[in-house]
Amino acid sequence: MVLIEPHNTEQHEEATKATPSSSQTTSDSAAASSNVHGGDAASDGFETASERDVSDNEEDHAHDQQPTEQKGSDSYQDALNEDQLKEKALAQANDAKMEGNKLFGNGQYEEALLQYEIALQVAAEMPTSVEIRSICHSNRAVCFLKLGKYEETIKECTKALEFNPSYIKALVRRGEAHEKLQHYEEAIADMKKILELDPSNDQARKAIRRLEPLAAEKREKMKEEMMGKLKEMGNSILGRFGMSVDNFKAVKDPNTGSYSISFQR
């Protein structure tokens, strides 16, 4: 017969308390090792900020943010490169314009035209190039003016004014070209526009006084030419009936300005 000793609970608890557990022993050993290697900053078992640079979550977050930041950096670099290209293009356009000015000063108008055209092509389609494009068109206009190509002068001045409607030099040059072509009414219109922009411009005022009699004379001449053509056409028709326009007399009414026509044999 086997005798079984009763389980002594109290003794077991005391033994348990007296004998340290393996995990406690390991923890105490780690704490001791920590104290040996330089202090008790982590002796409480928690990780502090001084013990790591970035936590696992922060590393993951930084990794997630990297493509976005890289994309933003690429966009910024692209924009920077585009701005640099625009600045370079404007610098090249300005160099071509300056070369054109030198050639114009030497009386080399055809060569100057080419340089201004190069500047226009380099600076094309850039919003920041409006000023230089307006200037180059105006400079091309004065080259054509010197070469006696007045229609081309008018076209170039009109282009310059599309970029800068208040460009007085372009208005002056277009007015001069109109006068050369005897477009007196158009020249007067350009001079009046100059006075609107600059009321103190004596050159434009003098030009208007000089052009107005010329415009009036041209109107009368054109009227006479028109009446002459009408007379020829009338005679060709009335001649079939043995008559001519000389059988008709037009009398102007001084009060109304209208004409009355009477028949005379």
Question: How far is 162 from 168, CA to CA, in rounded Å?
Answer: 13
In a domain, 193, yes or no: yes
Chosen domain end from 104, 133, 164 = 164
What is the 8-class DSSP label of residue 78?
Answer: H
CATH number of residue 149's parent domain: 1.25.40.10
Domain final position from 116, 132, 164: 164
Rounded to the nearest 5°, which phi and psi values hold at 204? Answer: -65, -40
- pLDDT tens for 68-81 read 555 555 565 555 57
In a domain, 111, yes or no: yes
For residue 63, being part of any structural domain is answered with no
Could you give the dihedral angle defined by the CA atoms of residues 215, 217, 219 and 222, in that order, rounded to the nearest 10 degrees? Answer: -130
Establish if 172 belongs to a structural domain.
Answer: no
200 and 249 both lie in a single domain: yes
| Any domain includes 66 | no
pLDDT score of 144 more than 80: yes
pLDDT (average), residues 119-142 = 91
The single-letter code of the amino acid at 36 is: V
Give CA separation, 69 vs 66, 83, 162, 213, in Å. Answer: 5, 21, 43, 73
Residue 169 within any structural domain of the chain: no
Chain centroid to Cα 84, Å, comes to: 16
Query: What pLDDT, on a 0 to 100 scale, did the predictor assign at position 133?
Result: 95
Please give the C-alpha separations between residue 89 and each of 27, 93, 120, 126, 207, in angstroms, as whole numbers: 71, 6, 10, 9, 40
Predicted local confidence at residue 238, as pLDDT: 65
Q: Same domain for 150 and 230?
A: no
Q: pLDDT tens digits, residue range 218-252?
A: 888 877 777 677 767 766 776 676 667 666 677 77
Output DSSP code: residue 20: P
Give CA–CA dist 71/68, Å, rounded. Answer: 5
Q: In terms of domains, do 202 and 251 share one?
A: yes
Q: What is the CA radius of gyration of the chain?
A: 48
Same-domain check for residues 186 and 158: no
Domain total of the chain: 2
Over residues 161-169, the mean pLDDT reads: 96
Determine which of 154-163, 192-201, 248-257 has the lowest per-residue pLDDT on average: 248-257
DSSP annotation of 125: T
3-state DSSP percent of the chain in helix, strand and coil, to 5: 75, 5, 20
Among 170, 199, 204, which Cα is nearest to 188's? 204
| 136 found inside a domain | yes
Instruction: Assess if residue 24 is contained within a domain.
Output: no
Same domain, 207 and 127: no
103 lies in which domain range?
76-164
Pair (111, 191) in one structural domain: no
Identify whether the C-beta of residue 248 lies closer than 8 Å to the C-beta of residue 261.
yes
H or E element, residue 151: helix 150-163
